Every structure is written in structure tokens, then in C-alpha cells.
């Protein structure tokens, strides 16, 4: 138990030297710093962090990721993205480098506005500060304390934007850097946006973004996030989404890279008939950890939530899914469903699944389920009995499990093709390393 005897503040010390002094910064930052100084960053004794060990963040304090960087380096990294030449480069896009919006690499269409401002001035962007009252999540607090820029994307009433690409590039230095960008996505009534976010980078860094999402009545946000971060990167991401009446929030997370990726997702279904789909696939190997922790809060009646998380884990990889469905009083006719499916490809791989239902209404339908297994021996034998060599048979079955999970992706075309390509490529690479 020597893990848990370390003081809580240990991990915080990696960032402590950069925390602003209380009351010399704005009120939000002051509150966040106070919270951090009081609570520290969590270790495994904290229930929500039992399965994810933050010691993966290392021991060397993180420096600030720089706004000025080598443009060739960024451009080069951009071209390493999967299908960049064939598909991605043609999409309207905004590019964020080291946590700062880069207008040179971006191509913003007329259909939405994208603005940036220093973080302390965010109150001008529609009172989003309110959600931060009573911070309960440590990496929300860390982001608030250290965020320098807010990127604000706004789609106006009734506008259908179509597919947009967001790329986040982090150019790690010889010394570890950290970045804490703050994103706000606001969709007005009836607006429609399909966003494909790709997180990539190189070197050692800690990426701590916060996304605040507001979806108005009848608006739809489809958001696919592909994590292809550097193998030495840690990602501590927080999403807070609020969905109004008949609005739809559809999120799909695909985690491939990064040493440690923790995804905290809080969705509030605030008005009648709101819909949330939070699906994801974590395909991890070596010593990677991928953690999806979500709270879907049904505040109003007739809201629907769907979650399927798939983990495919080899070597010593670890997958975590902690999913909570909270049904508040009065949220009648709630329809909530949660599913976890894990494929363990090595005896050292590990998956931790914790479903949680908290229900205060009496006319609801909520369910959860979990399956965990290795590759099916009978299926393997069936393939081999048809002449297919064992490693090829394994490859086919893993590919089938992965590509089957893309059926959860309601996006067609570009996004699906990209995901398929990315999964197949990393499957080939990993199986090659095995043999």
C-alpha cells in the first residue's frame, strides 16, 4: 500500500510553481487555486481515481507550452496525420498548436464564428463561468488555474455547418510541457455541427483541455475525438455539456495514443427530449492507460442516453470505464442505457468497469451491462480449420471487433473511413510488433 501513502499534493507539485497567486488573478482563477491548494490532485485513495494512477505524469515539473513555436515543426506534424493528403486537408478546419489557436494553419468557413480571448475575460462570452461554481473535478480546477486562452466556437440559429476538422498539435520539448486550453462550443437553436477533433503531438507533455458545450433546442452536435497523442503524453480532459430540449449530443471517443488518457465527461440533459450518446473505443497496448469516466445527468423528462464503451487491450494496457447515470426527481420516462465490452489480448491486460445508477424518479428505464473476454477459442479454431494461419485468424477477429464498434458511429463517409483506416493501421503495427 505504499502507493496510497504518498501525500496528495505530490502530483500537484508538478504544476505548483506556475499557479497564480490568489487574488492577483481574476475570481475564477482565485477560486480554482484555492480549491487546488485545499484538495490537491487525487491519488488512488479517491474513489473516482482508484483505477488510474496519476504517477504516470512523472516527476519532472511541467513548463508552460509556448505560444511561439517552429511553424515547420507544426506543419510537419500535421502531415503525419492519417489520411491527411486524401481527406483531412480538404475539410474546413481550425488548428490549435500548444493550446493556442493558429490562424495560419486554419481555414475557417463562413458558417460559424471562431474567436479567442485571454481566459480571464471569458465572462463576455455568455456567462459560461456559472458552470464552474462549485468545482468538483481536479483537472477542471487545474485548467481554470492555468488556462491562458479561450477558444470560442459559435454556430448561429438554424445553421447547418457540416463537417469541420479540429486539430490539436502539441510540440513537446526536451523538457516536459503542459497546456490547459479552454474550449467553448455553443450551438444555437436548430444548429448542426459535425466536429472531428484529432489530438496529436510529439515529445513529453501533459494536455489538460476543458470543453464546455452548450446545445440549444433542436440543435445537434456530433463530435468524434481521435486521440493520437505522443506515446509519452498524458491527457486529462474534461467535457461539460448541457443539452436543451430535443437537442442532441453525440460523442465518440477513439483513443489510440498517449501513455495516460483520462476523459471526464459530464452531460446534463436539461430539458425534455434531450439526447446524449457517449460512445468510445480504447485500443491500447504496452503500458497505456485509457480511462473514460462519465456522468450523464437526466434532469428533465423523456431524455435518452446511450453509452457503449469498447476496450481492446494488449500487453500491460489498462482500460477503465466508470459510467454513472443520474436520474433526477421529475425526470420521468428517462431512457438510459450503458454497455461496456472488453477484449483482453494478453493475460497482463486489465479492464476496470464501474457502472453506477442513481435514480430518483419512478417511471424510468435504465440498464447497464458488461462483457469481458479473450479472443474466442472456437472462432479462432473455425478460421484455422479453413486454412487461415493462427496470427492471421487473430488479426481478423481483432479487426472484426474493432470495426464492429464503428457501427456505433452514426457518421458516414469521411469520419468512418478515417476511423477505419486508423484502426486498421494501428492493428497492423501492433500485430507486427507482436510477431
272-289 exposure pattern, b = at least 16 Cβ within 10 A, e = fewer: bbbbbbbbbbbbbbeebb
- Cβ closer to other proteins: 385 or 435? 385
| Least distance from other proteins to the Cβ atom of residue 365, Å | 26
Secondary structure letter of residue 348 according to DSSP: T
Among 396, 417, 421, 427, binds other proteins (CB under 8 A): 396
Q: Are 206 and 172 in contact (CB under 8 A)?
A: no
Among 75, 86, 157, 392, binds other proteins (CB under 8 A): 392
Binding status of residue 424 toward other proteins by CB under 8 A:
no
Binding status of residue 420 toward other proteins by CB under 8 A:
no
Point out which span in 3-11, 98-106, 205-213, 391-399 binds other proteins (CB under 8 A): 391-399
Point out which span in 22-30, 78-86, 100-108, 389-397 binds other proteins (CB under 8 A): 389-397
| Least distance from other proteins to the Cβ atom of residue 390, Å | 7
Entry field: residues in the chain: 435
| Least distance from other proteins to the Cβ atom of residue 412, Å | 17
Binding status of residue 399 toward other proteins by CB under 8 A:
yes
Residues 55, 61, 65, 68, CA torsion sign: negative
Point out which span in 176-184, 297-305, 350-358, 378-386 binds other proteins (CB under 8 A): 378-386
Among 106, 332, 346, 403, binds other proteins (CB under 8 A): 403
Binding status of residue 435 toward other proteins by CB under 8 A:
no
Binding status of residue 130 toward other proteins by CB under 8 A:
no
- Cβ closer to other proteins: 22 or 420? 420
Cβ atoms within 10 Å, residue 122: 22
Closest Cα partner for 195 from 157, 226, 229, 170? Answer: 226
Binding status of residue 239 toward other proteins by CB under 8 A:
no
61-94 exposure pattern, b = at least 16 Cβ within 10 A, e = fewer: ebeebeeebeeeebeebbeebbeeeebbeebbbb
Point out which span in 115-123, 218-226, 274-282, 386-394 binds other proteins (CB under 8 A): 386-394
User: Residue 434 CA to chain centroid, in angstroms?
Assistant: 28
Q: How many Å apart are CA 303 and CA 330, to the nearest integer?
A: 11
Point out which span in 35-43, 140-148, 343-351, 400-408 binds other proteins (CB under 8 A): 400-408
Among 177, 284, 364, 383, binds other proteins (CB under 8 A): 383
Q: Which helix (H) or strand (E) holds 143?
A: helix 138-146
Q: Are 206 and 232 in contact (CB under 8 A)?
A: no
Cβ contacts of residue 209 below 8 Å, gap of 6+? 99, 143, 168, 179, 180, 181, 182, 183, 237, 238
Binding status of residue 372 toward other proteins by CB under 8 A:
no
Secondary structure letter of residue 62 according to DSSP: P
Binding status of residue 397 toward other proteins by CB under 8 A:
yes
Binding status of residue 378 toward other proteins by CB under 8 A:
yes
Q: Contacts with other proteins: how many residues (CB under 8 A)?
A: 21
- Cβ closer to other proteins: 5 or 407? 407
Cβ atoms within 10 Å, residue 7: 10
Q: How many Å apart are CA 43 and CA 52, to the nearest integer?
A: 8
| Least distance from other proteins to the Cβ atom of residue 423, Å | 12
Point out which span in 44-52, 151-159, 375-383, 424-432 binds other proteins (CB under 8 A): 375-383
Residues 120, 171, 319, 303, CA torsion sign: positive
- Cβ closer to other proteins: 269 or 339? 339
Question: Using CB under 8 A as the criterion, which residues of the chain lie in contact with other proteins when the complex forms?
Answer: 377-379, 381-390, 392, 396-397, 399-401, 403-404
Amino acid at each position: 500500500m505504499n502507493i496510497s501513502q504518498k501525500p496528495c499534493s505530490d502530483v500537484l507539485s508538478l504544476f505548483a510553481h506556475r499557479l497564480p497567486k490568489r487574488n492577483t488573478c481574476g475570481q475564477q482563477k482565485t477560486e480554482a487555486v484555492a480549491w487546488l491548494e485545499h484538495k490537491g490532485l487525487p491519488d488512488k485513495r479517491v474513489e473516482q481515481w482508484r483505477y488510474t494512477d496519476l504517477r504516470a505524469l512523472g516527476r519532472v515539473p511541467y513548463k508552460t507550452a509556448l505560444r511561439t513555436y517552429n511553424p515547420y515543426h507544426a506543419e510537419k506534424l500535421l502531415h503525419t496525420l492519417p489520411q491527411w493528403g486524401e481527406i483531412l486537408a480538404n475539410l474546413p478546419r481550425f488548428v490549435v498548436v500548444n493550446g493556442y489557436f493558429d490562424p495560419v494553419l486554419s481555414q475557417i468557413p463562413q458558417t460559424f464564428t471562431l474567436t479567442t480571448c485571454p481566459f480571464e475575460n471569458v465572462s463576455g462570452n455568455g456567462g459560461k463561468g456559472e458552470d464552474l461554481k462549485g468545482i468538483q473535478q481536479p483537472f477542471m480546477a487545474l485548467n481554470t488555474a492555468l488556462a491562458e486562452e479561450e477558444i470560442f466556437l459559435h454556430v448561429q440559429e438554424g445553421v447547418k455547418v457540416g463537417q469541420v476538422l479540429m486539430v490539436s498539435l502539441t510540440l513537446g520539448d526536451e523538457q516536459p510541457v503542459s497546456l490547459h486550453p479552454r474550449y467553448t462550443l455553443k450551438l444555437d437553436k436548430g444548429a448542426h455541427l459535425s466536429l472531428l477533433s484529432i489530438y496529436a503531438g510529439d515529445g513529453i507533455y501533459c494536455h489538460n483541455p476543458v470543453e464546455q458545450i452548450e446545445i440549444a433546442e433542436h440543435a445537434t452536435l456530433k463530435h468524434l475525438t481521435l486521440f493520437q497523442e505522443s506515446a509519452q503524453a498524458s491527457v486529462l480532459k474534461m467535457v461539460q455539456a448541457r443539452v436543451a430540449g430535443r437537442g442532441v449530443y453525440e460523442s465518440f471517443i477513439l483513443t489510440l495514443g498517449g501513455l495516460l488518457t483520462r476523459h471526464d465527461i459530464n452531460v446534463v440533459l436539461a430539458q425534455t427530449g434531450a439526447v446524449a450518446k457517449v460512445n468510445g473505443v480504447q485500443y491500447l497496448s504496452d503500458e497505456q492507460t485509457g480511462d473514460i469516466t462519465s456522468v450523464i445527468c437526466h434532469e428533465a423528462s423523456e431524455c435518452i442516453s446511450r453509452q457503449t464503451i469498447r476496450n481492446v487491450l494488449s500487453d500491460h494496457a489498462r482500460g477503465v470505464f466508470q459510467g454513472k447515470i443520474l436520474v433526477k426527481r421529475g425526470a420521468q420516462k428517462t431512457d438510459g442505457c450503458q454497455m461496456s465490452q472488453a477484449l483482453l489480448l494478453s493475460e497482463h491486460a486489465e479492464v476496470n468497469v464501474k457502472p453506477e445508477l442513481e435514480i430518483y424518479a419512478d417511471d424510468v428505464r435504465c440498464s447497464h451491462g458488461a462483457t469481458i473476454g479473450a479472443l474466442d477459442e472456437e472462432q479462432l479454431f473455425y478460421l484455422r480449420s479453413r486454412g487461415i494461419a493462427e496470427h492471421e485468424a487473430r488479426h481478423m477477429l481483432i479487426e472484426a471487433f474493432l470495426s464492429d464498434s464503428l457501427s456505433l458511429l452514426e457518421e458516414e463517409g469521411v469520419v468512418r473511413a478515417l476511423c477505419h483506416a486508423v484502426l486498421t493501421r494501428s492493428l497492423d503495427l501492433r500485430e507486427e510488433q507482436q510477431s
